[in-house]
Amino acid sequence: MEQPLLSSRMIFLHTRLPLGRRGEMAVLPVRWEDGLGAPPAGVRGGHQRRGDQVSAVVLRVILPPFHSRRPGQLAAPVGSRPRPILDEVEARHLLIDHVGHHWCWGDCNVYVGTLETFIEEREAMREIEPYQGGKFDGRDRGPELGIWELDLRAEFPLLYVPQKETKIKIPHSEVVEKCSGCEGRGQVACGTCNKSQEPGSYKRNQMFQCLPCYGRGLIAHKDGSDTLCTNCSGKGSIPCATCGSRGLIECQTCQGRGSLLARTIALVRWRTLSTRKVSAASGAASVPEEVFHRAQGVQLCNTQAHQCSPAYFPDSYSLNKFSSEVVAGRCPVPPAARIICERHVVSVIPVTRVTMAHRRQAFSFYVVGLSREVFVRDYPSRFCWGLCCCLEWLKM
């Protein structure tokens, strides 16, 4: 069972240690739990480089009975052999000396590996429009370029953008064709009055029965009289409302021109395929991987090449294996695409689990990353009215 962070039998010595080459200060506010806490930055294979920031260390001191202590001092435990009294200043110096010489806290980090593959896809598409007449860019002006022969340096985006798409007309690819919808006539059979006719044939003067007079040409009234139907002018039938009973309508594909101007369009896409993998210690296994992906950590390696190979860590077999697994999980590249470059990054994310206890209730949360993002599993609703145990420690 974990020991509570808040206890009347524990003293927490909060201090700032001048660490790093630029004189950065390291705050030591919380307890280090083996397997759960955040290791110092710059860890490789469970070892720590000196000069980096220490995440959290707490000195636990067992207090003797109150009547046996002198102010400002911590009494030595009662035993057969007397020992000198250790005051708070000496304890602080011992803590600083211990941190300075024992920065290897074991393999309790969370490692995040990513492999980003930046690819370019090119696909040929056919585009048509009604031919309005005039000149066009055909093969008589030069050979048609292949889809991968186009120079797109002016359209090339920044590397590793999520996605970008553009369309480019291939030079000398235009050609005038006969409209296949109307066979070059510019008109097609009316779908209202000639829908039962065979393709290419039609009938003129197809009439429809007038609905208001039911084909009589007269409108009957309740008094027995009849009047002339104004809808059909007494004829009893009306022409087709779509084509006027001509049997033909304008072809919508060529807009009545009978010819189409076709060209080849290159559809070019740039996008980044990402492979991500997380290796978390048992104490941080309950934190979702999405939290680690967006957390800020320390990069152990950052390589970029046309096709990346696994990173090499001379002092860590586990990191070498982890990097190989990330590279082996490379996303498949579509057949119509080419790889431009790849980037392989292995980072270590510091994770600290904080446990607080008050009135026999324990509350735990995680502090993830260098930006100290807080993650709480099973967090209550927004309005818990102060009845949730997660707010008990704030009332102390």
**Within a domain: residue 276?**
no
Say yes or no: 84 and 133 in one domain: no
Higher pLDDT, 1 or 370: 370
Specify the range with the lowest mean pLDDT, choosing from 115-129, 219-233, 252-266.
219-233
Q: Which residues constitute the domain of residue 149?
A: 116-180+258-267
Task: Mention every residue, 6+ apart, whose C-beta is less than 8 A from residue 130.
Answer: 253, 254, 255, 257, 259, 260, 261
The pLDDT assigned to 75 comes to 45
- The per-residue pLDDT for 259 is 92
Which domain-ending residue is among 240, 267, 294?
A: 267
| 78 within domain boundaries | yes
158/193 same-domain check? no
Cross-strand pairs, 208? 238
Q: Check whether 229 has a pLDDT greater than 80.
A: yes
pLDDT of residue 48: 40
Does 191 lie in the same domain as 92?
A: no
Claim to verify: residue 262 and residue 168 sit in the same structural domain: yes
Is residue 152 a part of any domain in this protein? yes
Residues 127, 133, 134: CA angle, nearest 5 degrees: 100
Other C-beta atoms within 10 Å of 197: how many? 15
For residues 242 and 168, membership in a common domain is answered with no
Q: 212 and 96, same structural domain?
A: no
* Among candidate residues 237, 267, 297, the one where a domain is terminated: 267
Q: Residue 81's pLDDT is what?
A: 57
Domain-embedded: residue 1: no
* Dist. CA 35–CA 56, nearest whole Å: 13
Classify 301 in phi/psi space as left (phi over 0), alpha (psi -120 to 50) or beta.
Answer: beta
How much is the average pLDDT of 136-160? 90
Mean predicted confidence (pLDDT) in 103-110: 48
Q: Tell me, yes or no, whether 289 lies in a domain.
A: no
Same domain? 62 vs 23: yes
Q: How many CB atoms lie within 10 A of CB 90?
A: 13
How many beta carbons lie within 10 A of that of residue 71, not counting itself?
4
- Same domain (yes/no): 53, 104: yes
Q: Tens digits of per-residue pLDDT, 8-67?
A: 333 333 333 344 333 333 334 444 444 434 444 444 334 444 334 333 443 333 334 444
Number of domains in the chain: 3
Asked whether residue 386 is assigned to any structural domain, the reply reads: yes
Q: Is the pLDDT of residue 252 over 60?
A: yes
Average pLDDT value for the chain: 74
For residue 345, tell me if it sits in a domain. no
Residue pLDDT, tens place only, 284-317: 777 777 888 888 888 899 999 999 999 999 888 8
Final residue belonging to a domain, choices 267, 293, 311: 267
pLDDT at 160 over 60: yes
Residues 376 and 243 placed together within one structural domain of the fold: no
Clarify whether residues 176 and 191 are in a common domain.
no
In angstroms, the first-to-last Cα distance of the chain is 23
Let me know if residue 224 belongs to a domain: yes
In 3D space, the residue among 306, 277, 37 whose CA is nearest the CA of residue 159 turns out to be 306
For residue 318, what is the enclosing H or E element? helix 317-328
Same domain, 105 and 120: no
Indicate whether 94 and 148 sit together in one domain: no
Higher pLDDT, 71 or 320: 320
| Whether the predicted pLDDT of 376 surpasses 80 | no
The helix (H) or strand (E) run that includes residue 368 is: strand 361-368
